[in-house]
Amino acid sequence: MTETEVVVAASGVQLSFGSTPALRGASISVARGELVALTGPSGSGKSTLMHCLAGVLLPDAGVVTFAGRRLDEMSADERTLLRRRHIGLVLQFGQLVPELTALENVALPLLLDGRGRKNVEQAARQWLEQLGVADRAGIRPPAMSGGEQQRVAIARALVTSPDVVLADEPTGSLDTVTGELALEVLVKATRETGAALVVVTHDHRVSAWMDREVVLRDGAVEAPVDAAP
Amino acid sequence: MVLLGLLERGPGHGYELKSAHDDWFPSAKPLAFGQVYATLARLERDGLVEAVETHQESGPERTVYALTDEGHAALRQWLAEPEAPAAYAADDLVRKTVTALRLGLDRARFLDRQHAAHMALMRELTGQRAEVAEPGARIALDHRLAHLDADLRWLQETRERMNRDGVAS
């Protein structure tokens, strides 16, 4: 993997919450367009590592880079811009703004970025359509099903054409069939944009959708294992 | 019995039955022609199917089979009886894992390799599944995926248990 192909990477990342170490030298490298499952038992540090990749958490030691740039050398504003323009986030419960309609939720990242309202609305509408929830455009999240909310959240993550989508247990709050549909939509839509996708999951069926699985144990990445014959 | 089920939809010859079987069960081993003809011969002997037509177009001679009344009844009976839940406790995965853990031979790596092998197959089946739109075929693949998923969960629990308690040889 050459340096230019790597979209986001962590190297030797350590992070403690108080006296409890969450990451003890975790490393991961994600190539452009790659689909990676981040798995491991509860408390292994997989969500923490994802939040470090997103620049939401800054590690105590070690380096996180985005397209070769160190996140710790950016200002807080630069990191916010990076997240807004280049990273799509999908969390377990969608984390939509309940007071806004589906359309406004999807448009939000573009509006925050100062884009013109007309173009923004058009882009948001296109994504809602692509994810099969165009008819929910004027509805607020509390009136939608969990599956619909998650589709709107996926639309919001993809509307900025990010380089990488980071998803933390994106199907965790959904029943199996609804979750699978949401995952299918997430994977297909992400592939179409050419973005990389990192999904934190404890569900092997979710992992099986990805190109590669990275297993965390006790805050570090396990040595990759050759697939048995 | 599955052949009876396939014939319940209407008469068919061996090749059609084989194709229909492979469509129904995309994750199963494709049915061998020899097996189809041998089974049809046995079902005919038992009076469950009968040859209703023989025709030859450009290829080899083809016999079309149909269910007899007894065949219909046997199929109904089979479907009326629930399948005994299978005991997987003695399958090769368990034998090998238990042996590896009890002997302590490279146990962590054993679990890693097993995890990787299961995950590779799951990935392959998930890929196939995405290509299959027909719900019935998806359901058949789902059965294998669910079992692989259960095996993986068991492997993970085994690792946690082993790390905590160890395993006696």
Question: Which residues from chain A sit within 8 angstroms of residue B132, using beta carbons?
Answer: none
Distance from B164 to chain A by nearest Cα, in Å? Answer: 14
What is the per-residue DSSP string for A115-160?
A: --HHHHHHHHHHHHHHTT-GGGTT--GGGS-HHHHHHHHHHHHHTT
Identify whether the C-beta of residue B27 lies closer than 8 Å to the C-beta of residue B141: yes
Region at A43 (left for phi over 0; alpha for psi -120 to 50; beta for the rest):
left
Cβ <8 Å between A208 and B119: yes
Distance from A200 to chain B by nearest Cα, in Å? Answer: 16
**pTM above threshold 0.90:** no
**Mean pLDDT in residue range A15-44:** 93
At position B111, the amino acid (one-letter code) is: L
Q: Does B131 have pLDDT greater than 90?
A: no
- The confidence score (pLDDT) of residue B46 equals 96
Identify whether the C-beta of residue B52 lies closer than 8 Å to the C-beta of residue B62: no
State which CATH number among 3.20.20.140, 3.40.50.300, 3.40.50.10470, 3.40.50.2300 fits the domain covering A3-221. 3.40.50.300
What is the per-residue DSSP string for chain B?
A: -HHHHHHHTS-EEHHHHHHHHHHH-TTSPPPPHHHHHHHHHHHHHTTSEEEEEEE-SSSS-EEEEEE-HHHHHHHHHHHHSPPPPP--TTSHHHHHHHHHHHHTSSHHHHHHHHHHHHHHHHHHHHHHHHH---HHHHHHHHHHHHHHHHHHHHHHHHHHHHHHH----
Pair of tokens at residue A218:
């006790």
At position B132, the amino acid (one-letter code) is: V
- The confidence score (pLDDT) of residue B88 equals 52
> Which residues are paired to B88 by β-bridges?
none
Q: Does B97 have pLDDT greater than 70?
A: yes
**Mean pLDDT in residue range A77-103:** 91
pLDDT top residue among A135 and A172: A135
Cβ <8 Å between B120 and A41: no
**Mean pLDDT in residue range A37-57:** 93
Count the neighbouring beta carbons within 10 Å of the beta carbon of residue B147.
13
Angle formed at CA B152 by CA B151 and CA B157, multiple of 5 degrees: 95
Q: Does A224 have pLDDT greater than 70?
A: no
Parse chain A into domains and list their residue ranges: 3-221
Identify whether the C-beta of residue A36 lies closer than 8 Å to the C-beta of residue A30: yes
Chain B touched by A177 (CB under 8 Å): no
Q: Does A144 have pLDDT greater than 60?
A: yes
Strands A35-39 and A212-217: parallel
Cβ <8 Å between A225 and B153: no
Cβ <8 Å between B123 and A208: yes
The CATH code that applies to domain B2-80 is: 1.10.10.10
Cβ <8 Å between A228 and B120: yes
Residues 6+ apart with CB under 8 A from B82: none
Distance from A204 to chain B by nearest Cα, in Å? Answer: 6
Look up tokens 């969990």; give the residue. Answer: A146
Parse chain B into domains and list their residue ranges: 2-80, 92-165
Tell me the three state secondary structure of residue A7: strand
Cβ <8 Å between B130 and A225: no
Nearest chain B alpha carbon to A177: B142
Cβ <8 Å between A204 and B117: no
Q: Does A217 have pLDDT greater than 80?
A: yes
Cβ <8 Å between A204 and B122: yes
Cβ <8 Å between A204 and B119: yes
Nearest chain A alpha carbon to B130: A184
Q: What is the rounded distance in angstroms from the CA atom of residue B119 to the CA atom of residue B148?
A: 8
* Cα A31 to the center of its chain, rounded Å: 14
Cβ <8 Å between B152 and A204: yes
Question: Which residues from chain A sit within 8 angstroms of residue B126, using beta carbons?
Answer: 205, 208-209
Chain B touched by A207 (CB under 8 Å): yes
Given pLDDT bands bounded at 50, 70 and 90, which one contains residue A4?
A: low
Q: Does A75 have pLDDT greater than 50?
A: yes
- The confidence score (pLDDT) of residue A86 equals 95
pLDDT in tens, B5-59: 889 889 999 999 999 888 877 767 888 989 999 999 999 999 999 999 887 777 7
Which of B109, B123, B160 shows the shortest C-beta gap to A41?
A: B160
Nearest chain A alpha carbon to B117: A228
Question: Which residues from chain A sit within 8 angstroms of residue B116, using beta carbons?
Answer: 225-228
* Of the candidate ranges A74-83, A144-153, A203-212, B129-138, the one whose mean pLDDT is the lowest: B129-138
pLDDT top residue among B94 and B57: B94
Q: Does A10 have pLDDT greater than 80?
A: yes
Pair of tokens at residue A87:
């990273």
At position A198, the amino acid (one-letter code) is: V
- The confidence score (pLDDT) of residue B91 equals 65
Look up tokens 């052949």; give the residue. Answer: B3
Q: What is the rounded distance in angstroms from the CA atom of residue A162 to the CA atom of residue B100?
A: 45
> Which residues are paired to B49 by β-bridges?
B67
Q: How many beta-carbon pairs under 8 angstroms link A with B?
A: 45
Task: Give me the interface pTM, i.e. the ipTM.
Answer: 0.71
**Mean pLDDT in residue range B155-166:** 82
Region at A155 (left for phi over 0; alpha for psi -120 to 50; beta for the rest):
alpha
Pair of tokens at residue B166:
């160890």
Question: Which residues from chain B sit within 8 angstroms of residue A208, using beta carbons?
Answer: 119, 122-123, 125-126, 145
**Mean pLDDT in residue range B82-89:** 57
User: Looking at chain A from residue 182 to 201, which residues have their Cβ under 8 Å from any Cβ of chain B?
Assistant: 184
